[in-house]
Structure formats: structure tokens, C-alpha cells
Structure 1
Amino acid sequence: MKITFLGTGVAIPQKDRVQSGVLMEFGENKVLFDCGGGILNRIFESGVLHTEIDTIVLSHLHLDHVADVMCLLKANWLCDKLDSVIYGPVGTQEWLERLMDIYPYMKEKVNVEVREVAAGEVFELTDGCIVQCADGIHSVPSLGCRVQYDGKVVVYSGDTEPCDCIMELAQDADLLIHECSFPLDFPMTNHATPDMLRPYLEGSGISRVYLTHLYPHMQGHEEEALEYIKEKFEGEVHIASDLMEVEL
């Protein structure tokens, strides 16, 4: 399994971080988890052909996680890739239909199957790749995903406060991709800070953690965040950056 962090930022522009998107490769199959603004170009910069991606998993429908979905669909259409599947929370079908109403010419050009999923669901994403979902704690419905493939487990938190539901998915995972939007002691709900996250990592059995979805407020506080978490967490912890690649 190969993971490429395409976008590790948020809705506020900042140098070297575009909005949310993670590419996971399962053998020959490539699946995009979230597709915020800037992700289509990051796919190009990663060396992957956008036409190789026909499956998207959306954690939630905030703009910084979905802004480039239509851009990707159109780019694929222009290169004769017409079929795709989008997984997402309840409301994804209505969201896409409304977008297609705004761009009616797209309705005739692409064939998109939407599969809405809910917490507790388990489904086969691609051959041999099993996904289990859980609710996060965010301002809109947001799903975290436990992805199992070839004996390895990766968990993607989506946008959420640290919470029991997501961390139950992450127990003994090989790799956890968890948002860490703001620095230590930053008053926050609906997102994570290092001090909110650390208690959930202690004794979790997780091997590696990558922190992503970093607001500009985190600039200059990255090492502080890592050091704080490492005081109580026995596994590896890293700050994710755009185009960073991880092999499992």
C-alpha cells in the first residue's frame, strides 16, 4: 500500500499546503480520499495520471474537502475517462445533483455513481480493500475510515475532534492520518489540537501517526506538537506535507 499526501492544508491559503486530499494505492487501484482545492494539480505533480483515479471517498462535504471533485471529473472527461464512483456521507447524492444542475453540460458527459455510507458500514472499496466507517465530531456529518488491505491498516480521521468512535477504528493500526488543525492549548471544538489528541494515542497500539489539515496557526508550532505527543505516545509521529509519500 502506498499513501501520498496530496493536500495537507485547509480553506485558508498558505505556502506549500493546498486543501485536503490523500491518495491511497492498493496494487494497481488508486483511491482518492477527499478532493479539496488544489488537489487536481497535486495529482499531476505527484506523477500519477488523473485518469487512473475513478474512485473518490469523501469524509464530508465542506468546500476544502470537495472543491476539486468537479474539476477532476471534467479533467477525466476531457481525456475520455467517463465513469467514476463517489463514496460519501448522507447528502452526497443531493450535493452532486445540485452541482450538476449548475453545470448541466456535465450531466451528459460523465457517469458518476454515488454510494452514500454511514457509521458502522463495512464495504469493499476495491478488490481486497475493506473499509469501515465511523462518525467524527464536526460541524457537519463527517466520517472517518479504517482501510484494510494486504494485512495493513490505515485510518483516516477526516475532520473531527479526537473521539472514541474514530480511535476505536484506529486501535493497533499501522498508520493513523489524523487532523491536527491548531497548536497546543488553542481553544477549539470540531477540530483537533495536540493536547486534545494525545490522550487518545496513549496505549492505542498505533505504529505511526501523521498529522494533517494544518491551519496557518500551526506554523512555527510543528515541532512543539511533535514533542508534546511523543512524551506519551510510543509510536512514530510526523507532520504530513504536500506530496509526502509513505509505503506500507
Structure 2
Amino acid sequence: MKIETQPFLIYNEHIMKKIIQHTLFLLSFLSLYTSVNAATNNISNQRHCAHIKLQILGEGGPEINDGLASSSYLVWINNKARVLVDAGGGSSFNFEKSAANFNDLQAILLSHLHVDHSAEIPVYLKAGYFSGRKNNLPLFGPAQGGNFPSTEAFINALISDRQSSAYPYLADNLYQQASTDFLIIPQSIHAEKKPWQKKITDDLLIKAINVNHGSIPALAWRVESKQCSITFSGDMNGSSGNLQKLAKNTNILVAHNAIAQQAFSVAKELHMTPLMIGKIAQQAKVKKLVLSHFMLRSINKKQETKAFIRKSYSGEIIEAQALMMIEL
């Protein structure tokens, strides 16, 4: 008895084609839905965080032949410069160019006490004398360690009324006297394992954690406003794992790119390699990565640096430039 199988096979092939077509359609729809949903969430997040912005005042290091101001950043909240992070050489000139108002500052945050991060503190204090500022200004930085003083001792060495201080004529900014309108209030922070935090105002929260910068006491900082955040690595080698904790889900991570991947071991004790930057950004699920603190050994290797970062991190990468304003 002969059995006809051909129509049956054709029928099955027809069904399989339909199934494949429907499956491909569903996969395309799901992919489109995921993309649209992600884009919608991103737009929603941008709108939610539209009130806070990052501005670069200095994207360089300690060199004086790179054409860059040293490390310094402003955090703008509701169109006011509310937080100054680091105060490297040249930053005050860009502060003026930015049209920021010294009276609006509610905190100064120092990552560490190297000159390319702190040298212009006296400049800001002297300028503040002419600003008409009335409110005291808190200044936070690292605790004592190794050959470095605490932040309080550092400020006292700069502007106390002792004959041995660098600028005793600025001592009014430390002691309540009739001739001064505001005081600088220094405070040292030590947060070895868990972030320290302080609420400055209802819409401004600052956090800090210790990071490894060789033997130099150093802090990474996070500035938050209404669940939107900007995190600053400062100078560090990434070995402690603390930056990942502080920067978790941050909108922007400012990472210091002072060395190339093939740097000498001594430099790697002080600074993150590009591979380490990418790894940290990926682990912390950073939304935007801003590279800064360029030095001659890294500034001409930006494409190579990004290639190493891309081995781990797929988000947006921005190269810092003086006076650049970056939205979240």
C-alpha cells in the first residue's frame, strides 16, 4: 500500500515557517519595547535630574606645561553653584568665567591635600572677603595620615593668626571678629569601610569614603540632590574597592585619568589605570563616565584609554574640558 507523505511534509513546513515568522516578530517587538522603555526611562531620569549639573573648572594635574587648570569642579543645583570640589591652580580664574557666585557655595570638598587639588583655597577665601558673604562655609577634607596633616591643621597652617601660618592676614576667616562676615569651618573625614555622610540642606547631601592614593590620605566624594548624584574619584589606584560602593548607580562618575595603561608601578600605586576605571564604572553601574585630571603621560593616549575602558564599560564616556557643563 503506497502512502502519500509529500503533502504532509509541505503542510508541516508551512506551519514551521509561520511559527518562525511569529517568533521573529515577537522577538523584534520585545527588542523594540525594551529599547523604547530604556529610552523613556533615560528621558524620565534626565527630566528628574535636570536641576543638577556638573561644571569643569580644571581638568589637569600638577604640571605647568599642559595648558590646563588643575583639578576642580562645581556642582550646580537649581542654577546656583552650590559645591566646589577641589581647588587646584587656575580654578579660581575659571570660577570667575563660569559666572558662579561665591555666596551661593554651601560646601567645599577636598579629595586630598596635594597642591594640584588645594592650592587655591586661600585665593577663594580672600576673594570671599569682597563678596559680601554672610554665611559660614564648611570645608571638608581627609584626616591626618603619613606626612600629611588633618584638614583642620592644614587650614590653620594656611590662615591662622600664628606668626608661622602662611597667610595670617586671612585669620579673620577662622576666628569670629568684627571685621569678618563669614568663617571657614574645616572638618576632617575618615571613612575606612562605610561612607560618611552629611545633610547640608534639604536638597543637598554629601558622602565620602577613603580611597587609596599611595600613602596620601584621600577621599572620594558623592554629591546628591533628590536622588540624583555626581561622584568624584579624586586621585586613587582603585585597590580598596571603596569607590564602587560610593559610586553605585551614580548618574556621573568623574574619574581621574592621570596615567596610561602601561604606566610604571610607582604611578600605578597612586592612580587608576584605564582598565581599572572601566571595571569600576561597570561594577558601579555608572550612567556617565567623565574622564579628567589628564597629565602629559595620559593626555595624548585618550583613544587608547577609551579602548581599555570599553573592555568593561559600555556607557557614555566624556572627556572633561574647562568650563564644560554636563547634564545628568
Same fold by TM (over 0.5)?
yes
Matches of 1:14 and 1:162, distance apart in 2: 27
Residue aligning to 2:225: 149
Of 303, 306, 311, the match for 1:226: 306
Q: Secondary structure of 1:137's partner?
A: strand
1:183 aligns with 2:260: yes
Matches of 1:201 and 1:78, distance apart in 2: 41
Q: Which amino acid aligns with 1:144?
A: A
Q: Quick check: which has more Rg, 1 or 2?
A: 2
Q: Secondary structure of 1:217's partner?
A: helix
Change in CA separation of 1:99 and 1:134 when aligned onto 2, cut-off 3 Å: same
**Contact 1:209–1:238, Cα closer than 8 Å, also in 2:** yes
1:105 aligns with 2:169: yes
Report how far residue 49 of structure 1 moved: 2.9
Report how far residue 29 of structure 1 moved: 5.3
TM value normalised by structure 2: 0.71
Matches of 1:233 and 1:52, distance apart in 2: 35
Change in CA separation of 1:78 and 1:7 when aligned onto 2, cut-off 3 Å: same
1:92 aligns with 2:151: yes
**Residues 1-248 of structure 1 mapped to structure 2, 5 A cutoff:** 1-27=52-78, 28=80, 30-81=82-133, 83-90=136-143, 91-100=150-159, 101-108=165-172, 109=180, 111-119=183-191, 120-138=195-213, 139-163=215-239, 164-187=241-264, 188-248=268-328
Matches of 1:204 and 1:104, distance apart in 2: 44
State the Cα deviation string for residues 9-54 of structure 1 (Å, max 9, x = none): 1111244411110100122451100101111101011122334335
Q: Secondary structure of 2:116's partner?
A: helix
Report how far residue 240 of structure 1 moved: 1.1
Matches of 1:2 and 1:198, distance apart in 2: 23
Percentage of identical aligned residues: 25
Q: Secondary structure of 2:269's partner?
A: coil
Report how far residue 144 of structure 1 moved: 0.6
Matches of 1:181 and 1:239, distance apart in 2: 13
Matches of 2:224 and 2:142, distance apart in 1: 20
**Contact 1:44–1:50, Cα closer than 8 Å, also in 2:** no
Q: Secondary structure of 1:202's partner?
A: helix
Q: Secondary structure of 2:186's partner?
A: strand
Matches of 1:57 and 1:125, distance apart in 2: 12
**Contact 2:58–2:73, Cα closer than 8 Å, also in 1:** yes
Q: Which amino acid aligns with 1:162?
A: G
**Contact 1:46–1:243, Cα closer than 8 Å, also in 2:** yes
Change in CA separation of 1:136 and 1:203 when aligned onto 2, cut-off 3 Å: closer
Uncovered stretches (5+) of structure 1, i.e. residues with no partner: none
Matches of 1:126 and 1:33, distance apart in 2: 17
Matches of 2:201 and 2:311, distance apart in 1: 38
State the Cα deviation string for residues 124-151 of structure 1 (Å, max 9, x = none): 1333222221111013110111222122
Q: Secondary structure of 2:217's partner?
A: coil
Uncovered stretches (5+) of structure 2, i.e. residues with no partner: 1-51, 144-149, 160-164, 173-179
Q: Which has the higher strand share?
A: 1
- Comparing 31-40 with 107-116, which one deviates more in the overlay? 107-116
**Contact 2:138–2:185, Cα closer than 8 Å, also in 1:** yes
